[in-house]
A and B are shown apart, each in its own frame.
Chain A
Amino acid sequence: MSVTRIEVKDLVVRYGDQVAVNGVSFTVGRGEHLTLLGPSGCGKTTTLRAVAGLEQPSGGRISIDGQTMYDSSQRKNVQTEQRGVSMVFQSYAVWPHMSVFDNVAYGLRVRKLGADEIKANVERALDLVQMRHLADRGASKLSGGQQQRVALARAIAFSPTVVLFDEPLSNLDAKLRAEMRVELRELQRRLGITSVYVTHDQEEALAISDRVIVMNVGVIEQIGTPEEIYNKPRSRFVADFVGSANLIKGKPVGEGLFAVEGGPTLKVMAPHKPHGNESEVAVRTAYIDLEPRSGDNHVPGKVRQRLFHGDFVQYVIDSAVGALIVRRPPVNLLAEGAPVTLSFSPEHCVLLEA
């Protein structure tokens, strides 16, 4: 494992009686891109703001580069401006009373760099986001996408080691968002910065992260690589929130077997050590085949509904394990009412923790 840049331990943040973050722990390695993913109100933004020092935690410990930034037991809380991290805000927070250049130069001026050095750094940062030609423009005359780029340039101009991203793409339209996603990933790799990224968009999280933390109601549901989160969801919440999954009710009956309520017994995979009290398995809609393959679970069914989405076709299939949603490539379309055999491998039939 690489060197740890950020360490968060048992973090608790309260707003009055409400607990926004309830005992969150994780580490971020050097050059790693970590994403906090969850629905609104899950505490992901609060966690990020606590790392930046913009939110006063009520318990736990935060350290950056081995230095303690917050520690409830030592009553230590380093001021935001002393933490040396950088951040891109959801609203961009581009100062409307300054030019693009002044915005980007801000962090450098605070650090009292010489004029030549400031100019060189600002230009380098603006080049990276392809905004150099607009350096003299007033910031209030920029489009949303341009403001986004300025905010990004400003965040990296003073060569921070850690950059925090608070839903930076959520205010862009879908197409621009997809473009910026690619650029962000590219930039992050090129500069080798360590970053923590907050989003509620699961697609974005899976696409640009080295590791993803799924959060819900102030606690961590699961930490893992995007593939782990997608293929081996630990809980019903993760299976439901990330990607699309069918949930089948029943109970485990011996090693790798799961008896569906009033239905057949399926071969399943348990990423954790089973306790015997589990009651659900999750099957991703993309992992169900409509033709039998050897070694798979096979369940007979009938097409109830077909929705043509373009990039894929979604079928609702009545079967012995209940109504399942299946997504297939838009070829060899089946008619509504056609009989099918559902086929999915045991490793994609994930036993969820109770």
Chain B
Amino acid sequence: MRGVLRPRINGQALTTLAVLGIVGFLVLLPMVFLVEESLNVGDPMAFPPVEFGFANYVSIFKEDFKTVWNTVVIAVMATVMAILIGFTLAWILTRTNVPGREKLERLMELPYYMTPLVGALAWAVIAGPKSGFINQLWKAVGGTGDIADIYTHFGIAWVMALFEGTVAFVMISASMKSMDPALEESARVMGASKLRTTLTVTLPLVMPGVLGAMLFVFAEMLGSFAAALVLGIPGRIYVITTAIWDSTLAYPPDYGRASAMGLSLFVVMFGMLTFYRRVIARGSFATITGKAFRPRPMDMGRLAWVLFSVCALYVALAVVFPIAALLMTSLQRFATVLLHQAQWTLANYEIALSLGPVRTALFNSIMLGLGVATVGVAIMSVLVWIIYRSNLRGRGAIEYLVMFPQAVPRLVFGLALLWAWLNIPVGLYGTLWLLALAYFTVMLPLGVRTLAGVVLQIDKSLEECARVCGASWGYQMRTVTLPLLKPGILAAWLLIFMACVRELGASAFLMGPNAKVIAPSIVNAFATSGTELTAAMALIQTFTVIVALIILFRVARGMTKELQ
């Protein structure tokens, strides 16, 4: 044989150990501090606590019963609406010949990119009592009183369903797409009508997917924060998340009570997600074959246009109206939908951009997004490789740790980190570094899942072949794995960047006077100054994300081209 193969140090085992340690420290340690604090029944400000007991938990069911009730009612309403919307849209877009199907399908993602915070602000403008656009119009045509009030249980649930319920559509349409059309066709061949086929074959096969989506969405809704914060506080409708937020703002801040509520919420959500995994893992019926089919769409005749309007209505309610309302508001001195009364101005944007704190917050958010996405994706790529490709011991534990933050509501995780770094004698609290650390940790599941999707598509033998050719692990990663991962890495980078710039839950607790970020600043503006300024800020944030995305998509297209 020509050439020499030098022996090399086995870097894998060392890497795994280091990774396990660091991820464990980031993910689990804050939770430990949270548990300790939730049992603190003495001085709520004592670090570390000296008296322990269960009083904080007991009080959830005594003093905060109303909050628990609100949470459940709103989550149930939001879940029902999200599933109804998701199922209808999924059915229309995967099983019928609705015109413009592919374009519509892509539009369905937009509400998710809008974020619940922006959605809630927009709907406050559209359907707020008295000054809301709907009520203004109602009065203009001679009506009395308010016909719309978004500051209600239903209003909160409505916004949650529109902007956080998109996951229901994604999950249900995935289960509809993975169904072998031959299953339906054979029913038709046996002589069943379209309706009978739908009822006896399609529905039973899709049901497990719908149930799974229901569980998942319900868990999400229980931990939802933004909509309840914007729309619940004015009407004094508190849910668990806003109650946690509220009790840390009181004087003295009641961290014990907040921790107990946060942990209870976490336990319930964790239970639901575990149950959801069970449902999915049972591999219910033949629908889940892992194979994607292109289902043969049913010919709906003229009804297709009715179905098209249903989709259009959804896009209007979740994207067009909200953006239009925010745009109108941000361009006026006093928000009105009645055009003859409008006083157009750019002053709100001027103010937003000239206010020092807002500018710094926006700048900080973008820097955090760039930094966390760049460093995070590099680390996550290695993590994904270790979890899904290596045969190292302990990779199961790493996967579990990495996915763990998914089960923790952002807000609760923020609280846990806050408490942890108040106790750890390192001056990280109140700095952007802590925010970066928090963002990285809460983005782990998102990034890892995105990258894993690509890694699992890369045939394992592509890497094995490199090893057989004599390449070390590092050389193989550099020359084969990473170049093949490039499109996935870009996608993960974009998602993490966006999620960072819009992060609210964890930031709410970790933002300090010298480390402001944009999303909590928007919430503050909504609470303290006018809607017009808030709308301008929300649009600036949205616009920033869009511009960043456009630039990156350009770059991405150039980079992926060489792969084809």
Q: Indicate if A46 sits at the interface (CB-CB under 8 A).
A: no
B464 in the interface, Cβ–Cβ < 8 Å?
A: yes
Flag whether B341 is at the interface (Cβ < 8 A).
Answer: no
- CB atoms of B465 and A93 under 8 A apart: yes
Q: Which of B69-77, B158-166, B246-254, B479-487 contacts A (4 or more CB under 8 A)?
A: B479-487
Q: A134-160 CB contact bits vs B (8 Å, 1 = yes)?
A: 000000100000000000001000111
Question: Which residues of chain B from 443 to 478 have a CB within 8 Å of any chain A CB?
Answer: 459, 461-462, 464-472, 475
Q: Which of A21-29, A81-89, A318-326, A327-335 contacts B (4 or more CB under 8 A)?
A: A81-89
Are A84 and B5 also in contact (CB < 8 A) when A96-B563, A97-B563, A140-B563 are? yes
B10's contact among A79, A96, A140, A159, by CB below 8 Å, is which? A79
Chain A neighbourhood of B2, CB < 8 A: 111, 113, 117, 121, 158-159
- Please, which residue of chain A has its CB at the minimum distance from the CB of B486? A97
How near does chain A come to B125, taking the closest CB pair, in angstroms?
Answer: 49
- CB contact between B479 and one of A79, A86, A106 (< 8 Å): that residue: A106
In the complex, the answer to whether B484 meets A158 with C-beta atoms within 8 Å is no
Render A87-116 as a binary contact track against B, CB cut-off 8 A, 1 for contact.
101110101110000000011101111000
Q: Are A159 and B459 neighbours in the complex by a CB distance under 8 Å? A: no
Q: Are B480 and A81 in contact (CB under 8 A)?
A: no
Report how far A164 CA is from B467 CA in the complex, Å. Answer: 13
Q: Are A80 and B480 in contact (CB under 8 A)?
A: no
Q: Select one of A89, A95, A112 contacting B480, CB under 8 A.
A: A95
Partner of A54, one of B4, B464, B469: B464
* Contact status A96-B469, CB under 8 Å: no
- Centre residue among A54, A81, A96, A106 by max chain B CB count within 10 A: A81
Q: How far is the CB of A93 from chain B (nearest CB, A)?
A: 4
Q: In the bound complex, do residue B563 and residue A80 qualify as a contact, i.e. CB atoms below 8 Å apart? A: no
A141 nearest in chain B by CB position: B564
Question: Residues of A within 8 Å of B, CB-based: how many?
Answer: 35
Contact B3 A111 (CB under 8 A): yes
What DSSP secondary structure best describes chain B's contact surface?
Answer: loop
Give min CB distance, B506 to chain A, whole Å: 37
How far apart are A241's CB and chain B's nearest CB, in angstroms?
26
A176 shortest CB reach to chain B, Å? 20
Q: Please, which residue of chain B has its CB at the minimum distance from the CB of A140?
A: B564
B469 touches A158 (CB 8 A): yes
Q: How far is the CA of A82 from the CA of B4 in the complex (A)?
A: 10
Given A91-B459, A111-B470, A140-B563, check contact A82 B5 (CB 8 Å): yes
Which of these, B1, B486, B564, contacts A159 with CB under 8 Å? B1
> Is B467 within 8 A of A81, CB to CB?
yes
Shortest distance from the beta carbon of A57 to any chain B beta carbon, whole Å: 13
B480→A107 contact, CB < 8 A? no
Which residue from chain A places its CB closest to the CB of B2 in the assembled complex?
A159
Given A96-B484, A106-B479: A89 touches B7 (CB 8 Å cut-off) = no
A4 close to B (CB within 8 Å): no
A117 proximity list for chain B (CB < 8 A): 2
Q: How far is the CB of B415 from chain A (nearest CB, A)?
A: 41
User: Does A56 sit within 8 A of B, measured CB to CB?
Assistant: yes
CA distance A93 to B471 in the complex (A): 15
B476's closest neighbor in chain A, by CB?
A: A81
User: 8 Å CB contacts to A: which residues of B381-402?
Assistant: 391
Residue contact B483 to A154, C-beta cutoff 8 Å = no
B5: contacting residue among A91, A111, A164, CB under 8 A: A111
The interface of chain B, by Cβ under 8 A from chain A, is 1-5, 7-8, 10, 391, 459, 461-462, 464-472, 475, 479-480, 483-484, 486, 562-564
Q: Which positions in A face B, CB cutoff 8 Å?
A: 52-54, 56, 79-82, 84-87, 89-91, 93, 95-97, 106-108, 110-113, 117, 121, 140, 154, 158-161, 164
Extra contacts besides A91-B461, A95-B480, A154-B465 (5): CB < 8 Å: A53-B467, A81-B472, A84-B1, A89-B465, A106-B466
Sample 30 A-B pairs with CB under 8 A, ordered by A number. Answer: A53-B467, A54-B467, A81-B470, A82-B7, A84-B1, A85-B468, A86-B469, A87-B465, A87-B468, A89-B465, A93-B461, A93-B464, A93-B465, A95-B462, A97-B483, A97-B486, A106-B466, A106-B469, A108-B3, A110-B470, A110-B475, A112-B3, A113-B3, A121-B2, A140-B563, A140-B564, A158-B3, A159-B1, A159-B2, A160-B1
